[in-house]
Amino acid sequence: MSRHGGRGVAKAALISSIVPFMLKTPDNPDGTDASVFDEMANAIKEDRARFFTGFFKDFFGVSLISNAASAELLEWARGVSMQAGLKPTLACAKAFATTDLRPDLAAFKVPTLIVHGTDDKTVPIAASGRAAARGIADTTLLEYDGAPHGLFATHKARFTRDLLAFVKS
């Protein structure tokens, strides 16, 4: 939005987004400690397949009590992730952790929908969805109670309805 001034954009949607900034810093106290990202990078280097197997369980909210994602979806996500090389996977994780998009929030000059799960373990809502909603002027924040990061799959009917309603509004 900032690079091109939002040219040609009528509406925007941020779904389980990392916006505005994931890393915990003195001026971003709700962020995630750098050690978490370091551990993630080390786990990726040590055994990517094992890392992604566990990662996607959190991503889709799979636990002993809840299993909103099928084993096939988990395997598909892991398989797609394994197609990327180690170097770009680590670069992606670093960008995910360290890209500060806070200065870009003011560039959102269009109605913006933010959808985020309250049980997102991948991108916690306090540092992302709620912070983005505070920084973007014309925002609708929809918090999906108990939803994980991969709510597009685990809450697909509601998500589809909400997104279509926003686009049509």
Distance of CA 1 to the CA centre of its chain: 18
Please report whether residue 131 resides in a domain. Answer: yes
Q: What's the confidence (pLDDT) of residue 68? A: 83
Please report whether residue 3 resides in a domain. Answer: no
Name the residue with tokens 């002027």: 137
Predicted TM-score of the model (pTM) = 0.93
The span from the first CA to the last CA of the chain, in angstroms, equals 21
Candidates 132, 118, 89, 100; CA nearest to 22 is: 100
Question: What's the domain count of the chain?
Answer: 1
Please report whether residue 7 resides in a domain. Answer: no
* pLDDT lower than 70: segments of the chain: none
Please report whether residue 137 resides in a domain. Answer: yes
Q: What's the confidence (pLDDT) of residue 66? A: 74
- Range of the structural domain that residue 117 is part of: 12-168
- Contact, 149 vs 59, CB < 8 A? yes
Q: What's the confidence (pLDDT) of residue 65? A: 77
Region of 12 please: left (phi>0), alpha (psi -120 to 50) or beta: beta
